[in-house]
């Protein structure tokens, strides 16, 4: 299915560039340059996605948003805006816009936002062409496009999501890297009473300590060097909706204090401002760290831990969801077919056996990457064993060696990093089951440096 996208912006070169990019990704794109032209197009047909600038020559994005939602309620509207107009964009979300993206546009960001909007618009259904005869179809969340699963662990997870979603309780999601913690958080939001309000996801591990206050609470122009415009913080942007704090265990102690105050008082003060802003938000946090241990060692505030952990959810490892493994695999096969414009029909029986026996240390994220790579390499219409990565056939390591790293291992990795940095990082991540904090310790670098190196070498987890 080719989704229909309407792009509205008076910047003609930008429109053409965006049309070319989205067309290559499989979307059917129409460009218009005025609000009046947009209304004519919408009167003729409904679009799945509407990307519109906030400022247009003959109208503004807010008025156009009202018109679009009246004429075509199912259309998901994404606003494109400069930083000085973000408050307008946040208000627009309260009127039914799905989200906003700041200019200059990041192609990967806009693509991800469109995919999330389409997930909200309709359920994701696995087509019969990707199912082997006699196999079960994947059960998908109607709103979030993820596989629910039939295993005991999956059923308990989904029961907890259904129970806590309608409440305003803070939720702490704990689980290994790649277990789908953000999908769980987004699902809770979409099943909550705030589903039509903003959902703001924040990677706490990627925020520099000296910029954390500005990122969370915003700043006013001139409040510090580099503050050339007012900035809306994540808390204000999420007002009325949900803020998801990923990797919350990596916040510095000083930032934890500021975060606790904001959560207790439900007020934030932008850096350099004397005015407090009241916020009504639901907080969902996630971590792969041992927070109780961090609390005992004084690295994480106990009062903040209890504030976040009003309801705890454990994201199960993929290996613990045995009967769901092939269900997930078929879902990722469908997704990979769409992204790579391929038509792989199913997995060979041998590949399915390998999938069921493999330990999946990287969980769902590892499976998604392996299947996408296999789809790209496959020569026929079936995934065969020869396109799977070699690590899937390696003997299972002793549990003691997979949960900890010896001093000799650390020394070897540090020496090795001087010769082949990228491979050293990948090896360290594998040894510590993709725990980025432990990997940074093994490599003898700080977590921020590890993030930058992973970005440099395009290492995705």
Report pLDDT digits (tens) over 302-322: 999 999 999 999 999 998 888
Preceding amide of 294 cis, omega within 30: no
**Residue 170 and residue 302 share a domain:** yes
**Residue 157 and residue 99 share a domain:** no
Residue 49 placed within a domain:
yes
**Residue 96 and residue 175 share a domain:** no
Count each helix (H run) and each strand (E run) in the chain, helices first: 20, 16
pLDDT at 395: 59
- pLDDT over 90 at 93, yes or no: no
Q: Using an 8 Å Cβ cutoff, are 135 and 124 in contact?
A: no
Residue at which a domain ends, from 288, 314, 340: 314
Distances (CA, A) of 222 to 17, 60, 85, 124, 270: 34, 28, 17, 46, 12
Give the pLDDT confidence of 242-270 residue by residue, as tens digits: 999 998 888 888 888 888 988 888 888 88
Enclosing domain of residue 61? 4-108
Residue 408 placed within a domain:
yes
Residue 392 placed within a domain:
no
**Residue 301 and residue 163 share a domain:** yes
Which residues face 140 on adjacent strands?
147
DSSP string, 367-392: HHHHHHHHHHH-SSSEE-GGGS-GGG
Q: Which two tokens stand for residue 125?
A: 């259904």
Place 84 in a pLDDT band, splitting at 50, 70 and 90: very low
pLDDT at 238: 86
- pLDDT over 90 at 63, yes or no: no
pLDDT at 273: 79
Residue 339 placed within a domain:
no
**Residue 296 and residue 188 share a domain:** yes
**Residue 156 and residue 104 share a domain:** no
- pLDDT over 90 at 383, yes or no: yes
Average pLDDT value for residue range 42-55: 86
pLDDT at 94: 67
Q: Regarding predicted confidence, which is higher, 146 or 397?
A: 146
Give the pLDDT confidence of 146-199 residue by residue, as tens digits: 567 888 888 899 999 999 999 999 999 998 888 889 889 999 999 999 888 888
pLDDT at 121: 62
pLDDT at 308: 92
Lowest-confidence range among 55-69, 103-117, 386-400?
A: 386-400
Q: At what angle do helices 61-71 and 35-44 cross, to 10 degrees?
A: 10
Place 227 in a pLDDT band, splitting at 50, 70 and 90: low
Residue 132 placed within a domain:
no
- pLDDT over 80 at 356, yes or no: yes
Residue written as token pair 């709103």: 143
Residue written as token pair 């909706």: 241
**Residue 182 and residue 274 share a domain:** yes
Residue 29 placed within a domain:
yes
Distance separating alpha carbons of residues 97 and 103, to the nearest angstrom = 17
pLDDT at 164: 93
pLDDT at 167: 93
Place 129 in a pLDDT band, splitting at 50, 70 and 90: very low
**Residue 165 and residue 58 share a domain:** no
Residue at which a domain ends, from 108, 143, 164: 108
Residue from 92, 104, 86 nearest 50 by CA: 92
Distance separating alpha carbons of residues 280 and 198, to the nearest angstrom = 11
Report the C-alpha dihedral over residues 19, 24, 26, 28, rounded to 10 degrees. 30
Residue 329 placed within a domain:
no
pLDDT at 371: 93
**Residue 61 and residue 168 share a domain:** no
How much of the chain, in percent, has pLDDT values that exceed 90?
19
Q: How many domains does the chain have?
A: 3
Alpha helices in 191-324 (DSSP H): 212-217, 234-237, 253-265, 291-296, 302-308
**Residue 176 and residue 87 share a domain:** no
Residue at which a domain ends, from 314, 345, 380: 314
pTM of the entire structure?
Answer: 0.58
**Residue 202 and residue 309 share a domain:** yes
Residue 363 placed within a domain:
no
CATH number reported for the structural domain that contains residue 31 in this entry = 3.40.50.2300
């Amino acid at each position: 299915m080719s989704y229909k996208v309407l792009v509205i912006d008076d910047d003609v070169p930008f429109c053409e560039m965006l049309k070319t990019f989205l067309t290559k990704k499989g979307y059917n794109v129409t460009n218009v340059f005025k609000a009046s032209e947009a209304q004519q197009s919408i009167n003729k047909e409904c679009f799945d996605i509407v990307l519109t600038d906030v400022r247009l020559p003959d109208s503004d994005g807010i008025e156009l948003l009202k018109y679009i939602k009246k004429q075509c309620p199912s259309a998901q509207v994404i606003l494109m805006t400069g930083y000085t107009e973000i408050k307008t964009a946040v208000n627009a979300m309260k009127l039914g816009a799905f989200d906003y993206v700041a200019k200059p546009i990041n192609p990967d960001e806009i693509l991800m936002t469109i995919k999330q909007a389409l997930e909200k618009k309709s359920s994701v259904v696995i087509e019969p062409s990707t199912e082997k005869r006699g196999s079960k179809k994947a059960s998908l969340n109607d709103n979030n496009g993820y596989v629910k699963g039939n295993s005991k662990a999956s059923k308990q997870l989904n029961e907890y999501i259904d129970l806590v979603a309608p409440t305003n309780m803070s939720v702490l999601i704990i689980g290994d890297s790649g277990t789908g913690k953000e999908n769980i958080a987004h699902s809770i939001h979409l099943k909550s009473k705030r589903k039509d309000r903003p959902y703001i996801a924040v990677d706490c591990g990627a925020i520099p300590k000296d910029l954390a206050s500005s990122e969370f609470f915003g700043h006013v122009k001139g409040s510090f060097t580099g503050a050339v415009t007012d900035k809306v913080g994540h808390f204000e942007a999420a007002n009325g909706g949900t803020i998801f704090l990923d990797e919350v265990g990596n916040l510095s102690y000083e930032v934890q204090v500021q975060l606790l105050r904001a959560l207790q008082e439900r007020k934030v003060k932008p850096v350099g401002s004397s005015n407090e802003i009241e916020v009504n938000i639901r907080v969902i946090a996630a971590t792969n760290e041992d927070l109780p241990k961090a609390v005992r060692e004084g690295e994480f505030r106990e009062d903040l831990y209890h504030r976040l952990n009003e309801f705890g959810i454990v994201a199960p490892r993929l290996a613990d969801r045995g009967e769901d493994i092939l269900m997930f695999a078929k879902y990722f096969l469908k997704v990979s077919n769409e992204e790579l414009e391929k038509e792989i029909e199913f997995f060979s029986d041998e590949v399915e056996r390998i999938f069921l026996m493999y330990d999946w240390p990287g969980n769902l994220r590892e499976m998604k990457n392996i299947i996408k790579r296999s789809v790209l390499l496959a020569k026929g219409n079936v995934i065969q064993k020869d396109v799977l990565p070699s690590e899937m056939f390696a003997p299972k390591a002793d549990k003691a060696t997979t949960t900890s790293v010896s001093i000799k291992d650390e020394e070897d990795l540090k020496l090795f990093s001087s010769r082949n940095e990228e491979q050293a990082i990948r090896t360290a991540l594998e040894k510590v089951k993709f725990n980025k904090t432990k990997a940074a310790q093994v490599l003898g670098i700080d977590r921020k440096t590890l993030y930058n190196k992973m970005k440099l070498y395009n290492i995705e987890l």
